[in-house]
Structure 1
Amino acid sequence: MIFFLFLAYSNCRTMIKLFKIKDQKREDAANSSGKAPIKKQSAGELRLHKDISELNLPKSTDITFPNGKDDLMNFEISIRPDEGYYQGGTFIFTFQVSPSYPHEPPKVKCKTKVYHPNIDLEGNVCLNILREDWKPVLNINTIVYGLILLFMQPNDEDPLNHEAAVVLRDNPKLFETNVKRAMTGGYVGQVYFPRCT
């Protein structure tokens, strides 16, 4: 009985070695043919590829890949709101997606300095689906529409920029003036905002 177990174990090890040799030969053949080595994609990359291929972006939104199409895990979304306080501005968000996506949300930052209650001056974004309300069934499309909604309906109840939130709540007219001043390139208080229109 022990002899048969040893024989089965030995055959199993031989099979594993054969599979490794076969994989190595396939990789060597791809490399010698001048093609780039075949890179295995993580589950997160596969899911992200699917999400990006199914994106349904509004006309006022674009996606770009600064590192080229080979790096799907890092991309930018630009949003040009067509109504509300931020109409006429262009706001760029960077997305960094980890290999464990969709089990954790992408890291999203706003590259455009903006006067907004839910985006701080370092570009951090306060959006519930990027934090505690993230679920693996959500996708990139959901995040983009969440960001668009932040520009349509800024939220003074869950702020990152507390000063902007107070102005929005207490004096919406002044808030609108501050947003326009920031978007056209100017100071709001002691903070300078580059033009984004």
Structure 2
Amino acid sequence: MASKRILKELKDLQKDPPVSCSAGPVAGGHVPLAGDIMGPADSPFAGGVFLVTIHYPPDYPFKPPKVSFRTKVFHPNINSNGSICLDILKEQWSPALTISKVLLSICSLLTDPNPDDPLVPEIAHMYKTDRAKYESTARSWTQKYAMG
């Protein structure tokens, strides 16, 4: 079930890729996938290309994929290991969701962090109390780690 579903999602992704995201097989196989997320234009991540890895569990789509950033990103919901705190990758997962929708949700998380459910409390605190400092730090990390 999982591999048929994954192959279908890959075909759909290549036919109709979500805006500013892409994903495809890692060389030589189809699991895990490697994805790219372009930093949204209206965010401090604009101009960056962020690499993600997508691991599918054996019981996908009944369990969510594990998505993690391989590019360092300064964000309250993404930690230094690349783990992402996003409800649809945890308790809000539904088998109706696809990797395309997951990538789009990660894009919107970059634009609209959730500082009330942070993985990195210090960054969440900065986001809430000194937005200008948060944005300039996020911009400088983007230039350092996500712009080649």
User: If the length of structure 2 is used for normalisation, what is the TM-score?
Assistant: 0.90
5+ residue gaps, structure 1, are 1-42, 186-194
Runs of 4+ in 1 over 6 A off after TM superposition: none
Per the TM alignment, residue 115 of structure 1 is displaced from its structure 2 partner at its CA by 0.7
Measure, in 2, the Cα distance between the counterparts of 1:46 and 1:99: 12
Q: Partner of 1:91: helix, strand, or coil? A: strand
5+ residue gaps, structure 2, are none
| Aligned pairs for 1:140-159 within 5 A | 140-159=99-118
Counting matched residue pairs gives: 144
Superposed CA RMSD: 1.3
Give the fraction of aligned pairs with identical amino acids, expressed as a percent.
Answer: 31
From 56, 75, 78, give the equivalent of 2:36: 78
| Structure 2 counterpart of 1:180 | 139
User: Is 1:67 the counterpart of 2:27 in the alignment?
Assistant: yes
Higher RCO structure, 1 or 2 (CA under 8 Å, sep 6+):
2
Measure, in 1, the Cα distance between the counterparts of 2:139 and 2:97: 33
| Structure 2 counterpart of 1:54 | 12
Q: Whose radius of gyration is greater, 1 or 2? A: 1
Q: Partner of 1:169: helix, strand, or coil? A: helix
Query: Quick one: which amino acid aligns to residue 74 of structure 1?
Result: P
| Structure 2 counterpart of 1:132 | 91
Query: Quick one: which amino acid aligns to residue 72 of structure 1?
Result: H
Equivalent residues of 1:118, 1:159 under 8 A apart: yes
Q: Partner of 2:141: helix, strand, or coil? A: helix
Equivalent residues of 1:44, 1:102 under 8 A apart: yes
| Aligned pairs for 1:30-41 within 5 A | none
Query: Quick one: which amino acid aligns to residue 196 of structure 1?
Result: A
User: If the length of structure 1 is used for normalisation, what is the TM-score?
Assistant: 0.69
User: Is 1:169 the counterpart of 2:124 in the alignment?
Assistant: no
Per the TM alignment, residue 99 of structure 1 is displaced from its structure 2 partner at its CA by 2.3
Equivalent residues of 1:67, 1:74 under 8 A apart: no
Q: Partner of 1:184: helix, strand, or coil? A: helix
Q: Partner of 2:118: helix, strand, or coil? A: coil
Per the TM alignment, residue 116 of structure 1 is displaced from its structure 2 partner at its CA by 0.6
Query: Quick one: which amino acid aligns to residue 104 of structure 1?
Result: K
